[in-house]
Structure 1
Amino acid sequence: MPGSAETFLVLGGTAEANRLVAALRAARPDARIVLSLAGRTTTPVLPADCAIRVGGFGGSDGLAAYLTQESVTCLLDATHPFAAGISRNAARAAEVAGTRRIALVRPPWVAEAGDRWTSVACLAGARDALPANARPFLALGRQHLSPFAARPDLRPVVRMIEEPEPPLAFPAEIVLARPSADVADEAALLARLAVTHLVCRNSGGSASFAKIAAARELGLPVIMIDRPPEPAPPVVRTVEEMIAAIAP
């Protein structure tokens, strides 16, 4: 329950959010920390020593009400760089509730020598950028796959943590696994599956970069979906910067 101690609400679902909770607990041992998750994954990786809240708030108004009711001291937005709607709601809710807010946005990936990137603005652009009869590895998450149903010529591969429910709207080879941080493992997977293209969003960060490095190693073209605009400031780039920003 709310009390006199500081209360931090962390909007999570990312590796950075989990690290932030751990760093926040070390920096503020007496604080109340609540980690909010959207609930898309039934078996998420969770940090220790915090309260977990699963599910939406009901838009910016619902979040503003939660911030007030729970006496939240600071709202820390550590959501995915493509969760633009959530970040907009967080900014509006914090303004309405008069709660301090800081966004943690990891830097995007930048193409290097050997990369064969085609940058596109959206999922439909990624779909249309694939040549006929391609076998793309769709590293997108199940909620972002529906546009590819319009390309029956493709022979896609999809990696998921859990079996899709309901089933996908188009035929695809499904790999049930979490992404590997090992470039050799990712390269072996792409080669074994005879993948011709990698399709992904420019999420940035190290947690899922191995597939990008693997595509470079194999000389595979990458269809890279550009990020939406960043959240309103203040914005930090690392967990360490976030902890420094909230220092008393």
Structure 2
Amino acid sequence: MPAPTEIILVLGGTAEANRLVSRIRIMRPDARILLSLAGRTATPVLPEDCAVRVGGFGGADGLAAFLAREGVTHLVDATHPFAAGISRNAVKAAETAGVPRVALVRPAWEPQTGDRWTCVACLGDACDALPAKARPLLALGRQHLTPFARRPDLDLVVRMIEPPDPPLPFSAEIVLSRPSPDADEEAELLQRLAITHLVCRNSGGAASYAKVEAARRLGLPVIMIERPPSAPPPVAGSLDAVLTLIGMNPSV
């Protein structure tokens, strides 16, 4: 069997990365597609028919060595908008290995009429922005919860996909579920749990927006953590733009 002419490494962990892999598979059936995941979720949702790599690369140098060793022809950074570390490593590694790179950055959410956002720069500021005795839903991911340990006055509710291991460093009600894409379901959850505030990051995209829409409907304040600086160009805001930048015609 001849070697594939294209070897595409997609740094994933997002719904957009999965959809991109599926699109590339249809357009370039002979290409080898590698999907890289950080490994924070034990049961990730995965696209069909691609090789999956789980775990870190060992920094920018390790990623550069991987690109060279595997003969990668295109690197697509489709990680979460808040995964600033891996995005920085992707830039440096691509430069070192001489591999074309493109970052897929989904557009950020913008406040709508009726939203009650308090925009903050970081997790610590989000923690400080909550009033005493609030009962917030922390929709942040388990690796972003430590700052809230210093607010024992809060009645915390944490949503996560899997039970925390190790246990959380503070007392909280834990809701084990993925975010619903349905705003009605999210609103019902917020009401049932008697949530007073929503704390989340400005992840953008449609997959997790329902909670923001639900908070708007209920008139709940939202502590919105702003994004870190975006990756340097080339940056694409859509799957079609990524496909164009890696030499594929999305209209085909």
The normalised TM-score by structure 1 is: 0.98
Q: Secondary structure at the match of 1:198?
A: strand
Aligned-partner residue type, residue 160 of structure 2: M
Q: Does residue 175 in structure 1 map to residue 188 in structure 2?
A: no
Matched residue, 2:108: 108
Structure 2 counterpart of 1:34: 34
Contact 1:14 1:79 in 2 (8 A): yes
Counterpart residue identity of residue 89, structure 1? N
Offset of residue 10 of structure 1: 0.2
Structure 1's consecutive aligned runs of 4 or more residues displaced over 4 angstroms after TM superposition are none
| Counterparts of 2:235 and 2:41, CA distance in 1 | 27
| Aligned residue runs from structure 1 range 1-248, under 5 A | 3-247=3-247
Offset of 1:3 from its aligned partner? 3.2
Give how far 1:2 is off. 10
Percent identity, aligned pairs only, is 70
Would the aligned equivalents of 1:181 and 1:208 in 2 still touch at CA under 8 Å? yes
Q: TM-score of the superposition, structure 2-length normalised?
A: 0.97
Q: What's the CA shift for 1:4?
A: 4.5
Q: By how many angstroms is 1:247 displaced? A: 2.1
Superposition deviation, residue 5 in structure 1: 1.9
Separation (CA, whole Å) in 2 of partners of 1:28 and 1:246: 12
Q: Contact 1:2–1:71 (CA<8 Å) still a contact in 2?
A: no
| Unaligned segments of structure 1, at least 5 residues | none
The number of residue pairs the alignment matches comes to 248
Return the letter of the residue paired with 1:74: H
Distance 2:59 2:35 in 1: 17
Uncovered stretches (5+) of structure 2, i.e. residues with no partner: none
